[in-house]
Amino acid sequence: MPPTPVVCALIWNPSQTQLLIARRPPGKHLAGLWEFPGGKIDPGESAPTALHRELQEELGCQVEILETLPDILHTYPWVTIRMTPFICRLTPDSPPPQPLEHTHLAWTSWSDLPSYTLAPADLPLLSSYHPRPLA
């Protein structure tokens, strides 16, 4: 089977000092782990469109996509995913993110991310992405 296409957002706060992570709820795969918000790409949907839809559904917010990072291929025991990560920031008119489909949200610095138990597919971003000032 081909990998399931998914997206995730690294959403930086306006001062570019913290980014948003979300804790997965009970009853779902990887319950209790932290993740960069996102989800599956629907058939016929582009990755950016999927990201905007997923963030609206999960967080009730809107983002501006600043950069697309290289895809990450990750195999879980139940599925292989091809994840497209995006560097984002909230749009000026976006409401604050809310945990509509997660138990908690946290703004954290890049250097503090290793203190959270992240979903395995998100871990490669800790070594492959190096934060720099956003445009």
Give the CATH number of the domain where residue 109 resides. Answer: 3.90.79.10
**Residue in the structure block whose two tokens are 């984002």:** 88
Residue 135 lies inside a defined structural domain of this protein: no
Cα–Cα distance between 69 and 128 in angstroms, integer?
9
Residue 133 lies inside a defined structural domain of this protein: no
Residue 20 lies inside a defined structural domain of this protein: yes
> Which among 131, 134, 122 is positioned nearest to 6, based on CA atoms?
122
Q: How many domains does the chain have?
A: 1
**Residue in the structure block whose two tokens are 């570019």:** 16
pLDDT in tens, 22-80: 999 998 889 999 999 999 999 999 999 999 999 999 999 999 999 999 999 999 999 99
For the beta carbon of residue 69, count every other beta carbon within 10 angstroms.
15
What residues make up the domain containing 58?
Answer: 4-128
pLDDT in tens, 112-135: 999 999 999 999 999 899 887 776
Residue 32 lies inside a defined structural domain of this protein: yes
